Amino acid sequence: MQATEPRSLIIAPQWIGDAVMTEPLMRRLRARGERLTVGALPWVAPVYRAMPQVAEVVDFPFQHGGLQFRERRQLARQLAGRFDNAYVLPNSAKSALLPFLAGIPRRVGYLGEVRVGLLTHRLRNPAKGHRPPMVAFYSALAGEGGTEADRPELRMPPAQIDEALQQLGLRRGAFHVFAPGAEYGPAKRWPAAHFAALAKTLRHPVLLLGSGKEHALCEEIATPVNAEHPGRCVNLAGKTSLLQAFCAIAAAHSVVSNDSGLMHVAAAFGTPQVAVYGSSSPDHTPPLSEHATVLWLKRDPAYQPPLDCAPCFERECPLGHTRCLVDVGPERVAAALPA
C-alpha cells in the first residue's frame, strides 16, 4: 500500500519580501514529498500562488496587531486533523498559536516570545547581530541546514501574464517598472525627484507600482515627467492587484526600486533590476538574482566623506540629510540598467 504524502501547514511571514525569501524552504519541503498548504495574510497570499510547490493557499482572516484569539480558535477547528506538520515562520507567539490549537502533532519554529510550549521542535533563534541572510534563516526550518546559495524563484503561467498585460495595455519587455515605495520608512526611499529625472532619460514608458498609500508619492514622479513627455509615466499605485503587479514585473524590460518587497519579487522572477540601498544593508536582504545590480554608497571607496552612518536601519534619517540615497544620482542608476 502506497504511503500518503505528509501534509504540512506553513504559517507565512507578514511581509512580501520575507514571503519571497521563503520559497527555497517550500522547494526543500516539497522535494522530500510533503504536500504544502500555506496560511497567509491576504496581502501576502499572492506570493505563494506564484510558487508551484504550494498545493493550497489559505487566506487568514487576521489583521495587523492583536491576538484575535477567537478568530484563531475558530480557524483552528476548521484545520484540525488535516496536517501532520506545521512550520511557523514568524517569531511571534500568536503565529504559533494556530497550529497548537489545531492539534498538529509536529510544530517547528524558532524560539521566541515565550512559545516553548507551542512548538514541539524548536530551533535556537540567532542573535540579531549573527542572524544569517533570510533565505538561509527560513530554509533551516527544514532541518537540513540553510544555505546562502539558494535563490528564490517565482513563476506565473504565461497565459496569466499575457492576460494581465492586455488588461493593463502593455507589451512584454516594452516598459520599465519603478517601485519607489518602502513600507518601512523614508530612510529607505530613493528621492522622487531622482526617479523622475531617470524616467525622462529612458527609451520605454514607465509603470509606477505600489500600494494605495504610495499613490501620492508616485504622482510626484509622474507629474513632472508627463509634463515634458506626455504619457511617459503611468501611476498604477493602488490600482492593481498584487498578482497583476507580479505579472507586470515579470514581463518588464527592467525594474528600479528601493530595498522593498517588490525588489525581492523582481529578483525572484529574474527581471533585470537596479536596487538602491540607503539605511538598510544588502548583506542581510539582497536581491538574490544574477540580473540584479545593487547600488549602496557604503560599499563605494570613492565616495567621500565615507558613509560611516550606514546602515542605521532607522525609519527616518537621524542626521536629517539621507545622503546615502540623495547622493546616488539618476545617471548612475541609468548606467546600471540594461540597454
Q: What is the distance between the alpha carbons of residues 113 and 27, in angstroms, rounded to a whole number?
A: 28
Class of domain 158-336: alpha beta
Name the CATH superfamily housing domain 7-142.
Glycogen Phosphorylase B; (3.40.50.2000)
CA distances (Å), origin 300, targets 61, 277, 306, 318: 45, 12, 8, 21
pTM, entire model: 0.93
Q: pLDDT 10s digit of each residue in the chain, 339 long?
A: 346 899 999 999 999 999 999 999 999 999 999 999 999 999 999 999 999 999 999 999 987 777 888 999 999 999 999 999 999 999 999 999 999 999 999 999 999 878 889 999 999 988 777 778 889 999 999 997 655 568 999 999 999 999 999 999 999 999 999 999 988 888 999 999 999 999 999 999 999 999 999 999 999 999 999 999 999 999 999 999 999 999 999 999 999 999 999 999 999 999 999 999 999 999 888 999 999 999 999 999 999 999 999 999 999 999 999 999 999 999 999 999 998
Which amino acid, 99? P
Residue whose grid cell is 489583521:
63
Q: Is there a shared CATH topology between the 7-142 domain and the 158-336 domain?
A: yes
Outline where DSSP puts E strands in the chain: 7-11, 35-40, 54-59, 85-88, 106-110, 121-123, 176-179, 206-208, 233-235, 254-258, 273-276, 292-295
Question: What are the residue ranges spanned by the domains of the chain?
Answer: 7-142, 158-336
- Nearest residue to 97 via CA among 126, 82, 117: 117
